[in-house]
Amino acid sequence: MVPRRRVRRPWYRRRAFRLTRTAVLTVVLVTVGVRCGGHDGPGAPARAGQAASGAAAAPAPGGGGEEDRTEGKKGSERSEPPERPEPPPRPLPRSPATALRVPSLGIDAPIVPLRLGPDRHLGTPPVDEPKLVGWYAGGPTPGERGTAVVVGHRDTKTGPAVFAGLARVARGARIEARRADGRTAVYTVDRVRVFDKATFPDKEVYGPSKRPELRVLTCGGLFHRATGYTSNVVVFAHLTQTR
């Protein structure tokens, strides 16, 4: 038998060449992967997803690159200092009140002057005119320095009166008082309190003030036929604008 002649394999099919090629490809792929990953590392897919959705992408921990840091510096340079609060309006000279508006409650009522009675208690508007508001004429006029006092009925025998919804006025609401000289004093509500008449805090409600303030009062609490309402609703406000 004639022995078979051994055929030599081509160089590109030899085992040594295949091993060398595999090693080279592995090194190339690892190098490319490191360069593409950059600073993002494992967080890169998340940032890509955020950018696609239009949301602002937050820098990955320890990353962000020089571009992100530069943008942060520019943003801080563009930031403006907080606005200074506007100074309070100057008090107005004396002028009688003519009308009261509480836009949030739909109140726009004429004003009548009120004075203290023989018992040193402040009177109220006439019961047969429930839509009138009373302004204490012995105290400050609208916009004048000090504590001005306004009163009105919650209801009468004929039904709800001008201040039926006074307890619902919100903090920050406006109260506008028109004056005989054509100017308007605009007050802003600070708080609303309900005081029992038996322990009414006169000093807190009627006490003097260095700035123009306003107190609006009506009845509140429970009603008894013999004695009337048990409490008073008091709105505290201060002057914030004149026009």
User: pLDDT per residue over 140-175, tens digit each?
Assistant: 999 999 999 999 999 988 899 999 999 999 999 999
Q: Do 143 and 47 fall within a single domain?
A: no
Band of the pLDDT at 69, cuts 50, 70, 90?
very low
Distance between CA 220 and CA 232 in Å, rounded? Answer: 5
Q: Which two tokens stand for residue 116?
A: 């203290």
Let me know if residue 109 belongs to a domain: yes
- For the chain, the average pLDDT equals 77
The answer to whether the CB of 67 falls within 8 A of the CB of 218 is no
Q: Do 107 and 222 fall within a single domain?
A: yes
In the chain, % of residues over pLDDT 90: 53
For residue 216, the enclosing domain spans 97-242
The answer to whether the CB of 199 falls within 8 A of the CB of 133 is no
Band of the pLDDT at 28, cuts 50, 70, 90?
very low
Q: Do 33 and 101 fall within a single domain?
A: no
For strands 228-242 and 184-196, give the pairing: antiparallel
User: Total domain count for the chain?
Assistant: 2
Let me know if residue 25 belongs to a domain: yes
- Whether the predicted pLDDT of 233 surpasses 70: yes
Let me know if residue 12 belongs to a domain: yes
Task: Enumerate the β-bridge partners of residue 156.
Answer: 159
Q: Do 103 and 42 fall within a single domain?
A: no
Nearest to 145 by CA among 203, 88, 102, 218: 88
Q: Do 106 and 224 fall within a single domain?
A: yes
Q: Do 30 and 141 fall within a single domain?
A: no
Compute the half-sphere exposure of residue 72: CA atoms within 13 Å on the CB side of its CA.
8
Q: Do 152 and 37 fall within a single domain?
A: no
Let me know if residue 128 belongs to a domain: yes
Band of the pLDDT at 86, cuts 50, 70, 90?
confident
User: In this predicted structure, what is the pLDDT of residue 32?
Assistant: 36
Q: Do 47 and 155 fall within a single domain?
A: no
Q: Do 236 and 164 fall within a single domain?
A: yes
The model's pLDDT over 189-223, given as tens digits with 9 standing for 90+, comes to 999 999 999 999 999 999 999 999 999 999 999 98
Radius of gyration of the chain from its Cα atoms, rounded to whole angstroms:
40
User: In this predicted structure, what is the pLDDT of residue 226?
Assistant: 86
Distance between CA 154 and CA 46 in Å, rounded? Answer: 62
Sign of CA dihedral 203, 165, 163, 173: positive
Q: Do 212 and 121 fall within a single domain?
A: yes
User: In this predicted structure, what is the pLDDT of residue 123?
Assistant: 86
Distance between CA 200 and CA 156 in Å, rounded? Answer: 23
User: In this predicted structure, what is the pLDDT of residue 80?
Assistant: 64
Let me know if residue 219 belongs to a domain: yes
Band of the pLDDT at 85, cuts 50, 70, 90?
confident
Regarding predicted confidence, which is higher, 36 or 131? 131
Let me know if residue 78 belongs to a domain: no
Segment 28-48 shows an average pLDDT of: 36
Q: Do 27 and 102 fall within a single domain?
A: no
Query: What CATH number should be reported for the domain holding residue 196?
Result: 2.40.260.10
Segment 23-33 shows an average pLDDT of: 42
Q: Do 29 and 104 fall within a single domain?
A: no
Whole-model pTM over 0.75: no
Let me know if residue 58 belongs to a domain: no
Matching residue, tokens 């993002």: 40
For strands 155-156 and 159-160, give the pairing: antiparallel
The model's pLDDT over 104-127, given as tens digits with 9 standing for 90+, comes to 999 999 999 999 888 888 889 998
Let me know if residue 184 belongs to a domain: yes
